[in-house]
Structure 1
């Protein structure tokens, strides 16, 4: 049975929402020849791209496939599929007649991540791309933030609700600011300089602007961090048989952000949880410092002095660090190797 013969109520609902925004403009649509479930390489059914001229020329990408485009298959009647589709606004040069292929590949890669992991995106999320979001480009945008598309409100389809989440290309220090404060707060401060959150590969970090840097500093100090949990791929816990010195291990790339999160969470009385491949480590405030181990879960209760001391240790410099007034505990920071798609190490941190 062809797609044309299928009940395409979900697809048509997205088309109608875009028609309200772009009228009769004929979109550029990039479909998938072989369905993902039949072994095709691309998980999304298709991506439509519109050309927008305001507030500045840009491409507007919209995915089809995170939601249920045809028959209802999931059990939740309130949401269609994963409950969202992704959008992406990318600055367009006058010489461009076609949207760049890397942006289409980026959206399909995010589809693979969601389909393979089951993890979904929500407004306020962020993701580190560990390199330029446009491969083989010299852009300093190396991460993504997610926010509700400012011109595409959520829609109710026969298969349930669908929200439109827009990707925003961000720099590494902007990502760090979002982690130590919150994504939507940082984006709001940046919005005057990136209207409609249009991604421009050629822009520099907006934290170089004193007003934005100060707003982020004040926000993080007054509100603390909204990041309560973080996946740390080089996380480990060393617990010797004689219990002499128990050691927390982190990779150099993530050491600094963990230190800042400790400062922004524990001083506000909030817990921070780090999840690794084999262990989970939680930091909690306590009157007295202690270490509790329950199978693969470690709980560190820290007084204010210990929290501050560990935060100071956590820098992107490899080494073994001891706390002078807590001899039973140490922190080991190991180098982080950044690799390309073929597994070749292109950068070492620490």
Structure 2
């Protein structure tokens, strides 16, 4: 790559991505979707474009790659080591027999994930996971309702004139696989799935791979050996509101609103993290909850992050007092917090509610 040529063209970041894809797909002209008016020019779509390549490796599939989470043109951020957010998203979708065009819903899906990154500043990395609270493809019946993130197995990181860019692949999971991922470790689960899921290609028609004996055995052995290495959960259902102090509280009081599904995850993960000296973060669109083990309980608001420190006794009380059911909860030791739990609605491809949690 010629950095000077990139500087002269004014599209150095874009050109670097194109050069990487030209090596992976020599001679192939991708299907490219670009918004009429991207966010950079005042529109609603954050990405300047998404390309889709057809591949026969693993299974026949469409390989989508985004343009816009990194700096495509001139250098604007102060971080000289990373280009923009330091990543672009990729997504591999199994192609149906005879399919000649990449499904358009995946372009919207990736725009929505990018919109989340732009809105929150939360950056997806290898080993992260996120729930979708419904099918990732709204026009297709599927059990794929969650996602994990891994370094793209065929696109190594690149160094553009604007800094380093990682290609982070979105991998579709079922609800059962999501639970296994957050209990054990998303990246380790993906490795266990790989023999049944080449290149982590998302197949909307598949059932849960936990039904495969080797995968179930790997998860059980991993939990017994490792505990949980999941340190973060991304969600759209998280709000924090400051309240008037209650009689038992010292300092500010807060109302924390969560979905029942996220509460279920916390009740599973916090006992697998805090007693081992590990933190856990729940990241929403506007707020973050940072749970940390401590000898004494405390609650501190740091900008848009609420830091909740719990001693072992309070963690035990939290797991017994809270429930993944709609309602208002108080936890002894954290008198300044009121936990408001909302129902989580799981919807099918048509938008109809098929499951209610809480």
Whether the TM-score (by the shorter chain) exceeds 0.5 is: yes
The 1:18/1:255 distance shift into structure 2, 3 A limit, reads: same
How far is the alpha carbon of 1:7 from its aligned partner?
1.9
Distance 1:115 1:228 in 2: 21
The 1:186/1:235 distance shift into structure 2, 3 A limit, reads: farther
How far is the alpha carbon of 1:226 from its aligned partner?
2.4
Residue 301 of structure 1, aligned match among 302, 310, 317: 310
After superposition, residues 1-350 of structure 1 pair within 5 angstroms as 7-230=10-233, 233=238, 241-243=246-248, 251-272=259-280, 280=289, 282=291, 284=293, 286=295, 291-294=297-300, 299=308, 301-303=310-312, 307-308=315-316, 310-311=318-319, 314-318=322-326, 334-338=341-345, 346=353, 348-350=356-358
The 1:158/1:242 distance shift into structure 2, 3 A limit, reads: closer
The 1:208/1:23 distance shift into structure 2, 3 A limit, reads: same
Higher alpha-carbon deviation: 198-207 or 136-145: 136-145
SS at structure 2 position matched to 1:166: strand
How far is the alpha carbon of 1:57 from its aligned partner?
0.6
Higher alpha-carbon deviation: 165-174 or 63-72: 63-72
The 1:49/1:307 distance shift into structure 2, 3 A limit, reads: same
How far is the alpha carbon of 1:87 from its aligned partner?
0.9
Where relative contact order (Cα < 8 A, 6+ residues apart) is larger, the structure is 2
How far is the alpha carbon of 1:198 from its aligned partner?
0.3
SS at structure 2 position matched to 1:61: strand
The 1:23/1:195 distance shift into structure 2, 3 A limit, reads: same
SS at structure 2 position matched to 1:185: helix
Gaps of 5+ in 2: 1-7
Gaps of 5+ in 1: none
> Which structure has the greater CA radius of gyration?
1
How far is the alpha carbon of 1:22 from its aligned partner?
1.2
Distance 1:93 1:125 in 2: 28
How far is the alpha carbon of 1:45 from its aligned partner?
1.4
Distance 1:298 1:25 in 2: 49
Answer whether contact 1:235 1:251 (CA < 8 A) is retained.
no
- Give TM-score scaled by structure 2 length: 0.80
Answer whether contact 1:225 1:264 (CA < 8 A) is retained.
yes
Distance 1:214 1:154 in 2: 33
How far is the alpha carbon of 1:156 from its aligned partner?
1.4
The 1:302/1:38 distance shift into structure 2, 3 A limit, reads: same
How far is the alpha carbon of 1:183 from its aligned partner?
1.4
SS at structure 1 position matched to 2:159: strand
How far is the alpha carbon of 1:337 from its aligned partner?
4.2
SS at structure 2 position matched to 1:12: helix
- Give TM-score scaled by structure 1 length: 0.82
